[in-house]
Amino acid sequence: VGKGIYLDNNATTRIDPKVVEAMMPYFNTYYGNPSSQHGFGLAVDRAINHAREQVADLLGAAHPDEIIFTSCATESDNTAIWTSLFTQKDKNEIVTTKLEHPAILDTCSFLSGRGVEVKYLSANHLGDIDPAEFEKLLNPKTALASIMWANNETGNIYPVPEMAEIAAAHNVVFHAAAVQAVGKIPINLKDTKINMLSFSGHKLHAPKGIGALYVRRGTRFIPFMHGGHQERGRRAGTENVPYIVGLGMACELAKSHLDDLNTRVRALRDKLEKGIVNTIPEVIVTGDKTHRTPNTLNVAFKFVEGEAILLMLNEYGIAASSGSACSSESLEPSHVMQAMGIPFSAAHGTIRFSLSRFTTEAEIDEVLRVLPGIIQRLRDMSPYWNENKPKLINADHEF
Ligand SMILES: Cc1ncc(COP(=O)(O)O)c(CNc2co[nH]c2=O)c1O
């Protein structure tokens, strides 16, 4: 357990050893409460503010005090939605997309039964959304536009800065759900009209259970968590100091590795993609191949179950994920694949490979060595494949 080839980094990542090293002193040497005015507390408060600067630097925020530490992206997402409604009592509409993570979708559906009207942007077959359609959904009742910067299943990158400009022109508060973008693509918030941005530490080699919410200066804000003066009165609760220090270090490291991720790691992802397409028939690379994060590859293997592929990959010590699993317990295709209109016969067999800076070429070569045999074995057992393969192999067809 815990050994092998890890290609599920969009789900979570290993903590960088340099992050662990930075965190250690704050467990049993510098353990004061940051709010305490004695030496133990002041030293810790300085460490938190240094981490704030490191996070602000990765995000290109104008001011470190625009960063609020939270427990995770889910808390940050909920806070963004909560504050947009409570600070604008005359507005009760939210505009988002059908492609969002459940942290947004489930929160929106919870609210839609309680006086909030939610409007959803649809996606085309590449999983792209249309800024012109977005603009049509905005109106004086729109309290928030919340759009993900990159999709966790396909890696699609959305035109968030452009959409934030449109929202600002309509006096609409804009939130970017950026969990899968931070640390993977360049972000320079001060040059955008983005009001709030959420992300999680455990997607960029910080521990699980720490995240942040960026709130641009001048954006009206009401806390989601009450009962303390921490985070300048914007997020109550004694700070998780070691994890905040770890998040800061992870952001500093992510910035220094951004080029490597967008060159070497992207090339490894492309090698995996080409290898699969060239050796395995009847596959669909889902999503927008020109606008996607450098580490993500989502492939639909027709006529086989994604879960079965994962189980057999796991037999070889290879960890990946299937869209049908990470979005629901059932074997339903993910809401993302459904929103893209991927046919059922393919959507069931999607596998998401998500690389990181720790991924090696030897690992990609090993996946390419074993995967064709896995798919062939599963197809040999599939009545559906055996009924259709003559038509499929010879057909020149679009999915
Ligand atoms: C876009 C997006 N938003 C929010 C979250 C929630 O982050 P958390 O609050 O730190 O848990 C995730 C996690 N995405 C995934 C978690 O597992 N597989 C995934 O794709 C995500 O990808």
Complex ipTM, two decimals?
Answer: 0.98
| Residue whose CA lies nearest to ligand 1 atom number 18 | 11
More confident residue, 326 or 355: 355
Q: Is the pLDDT of residue 330 over 80?
A: no
Q: In angstroms, how far is CA 55 from the centroid of its own chain?
A: 17
Contact (Cβ atoms closer than 8 angstroms) between residue 97 and residue 121 = yes
pLDDT at 396: 46
Contact (Cβ atoms closer than 8 angstroms) between residue 346 and residue 338 = no
Backbone angles phi, psi at 356, to 5 degrees: -145, 180
For CA atoms 246, 251, 254, 255, give the dihedral sign.
negative
Q: Is 352 in the pocket of ligand 1 (CB under 6 A)?
A: no
Q: Cα dist. 44→75, 226, 239, 322 in Å?
A: 23, 22, 10, 41
Separation CA 182–CA 266 (nearest Å): 16
pLDDT at 389: 75
Residue to substitute in 10, 101, 197, 321 for testing ligand 1 pocket (most ligand atoms within 8 angstroms of CB): 101
pLDDT band at 126 (very low <50, low <70, confident <90, very high): very high
> What spacing in Å lies between the alpha carbon of 101 and ligand 1's midpoint?
7
pLDDT at 386: 86
Prediction pTM value? 0.95
Separation CA 147–CA 54 (nearest Å): 24
pLDDT at 332: 75
| Residue whose CA lies nearest to ligand 1 atom number 7 | 73
Q: Is 72 a catalytic residue?
A: no
Span of 18-32, 296-310, 317-331, 364-378 with lowest mean pLDDT: 317-331
Residue from 350, 334, 346, 352 nearest 384 by CA: 346
Ligand 1 atom with the shortest distance to the CA of 150: 1
Ligand 1 atom with the shortest distance to the CA of 103: 4
> What spacing in Å lies between the alpha carbon of 179 and ligand 1's midpoint?
7
Residue from 274, 308, 298 nearest 347 by CA: 298
Q: What element of type H or E holds 146?
A: strand 142-148
> What spacing in Å lies between the alpha carbon of 202 and ligand 1's midpoint?
9
Residue from 14, 12, 4, 11 nearest 358 by CA: 14
> What spacing in Å lies between the alpha carbon of 276 and ligand 1's midpoint?
26
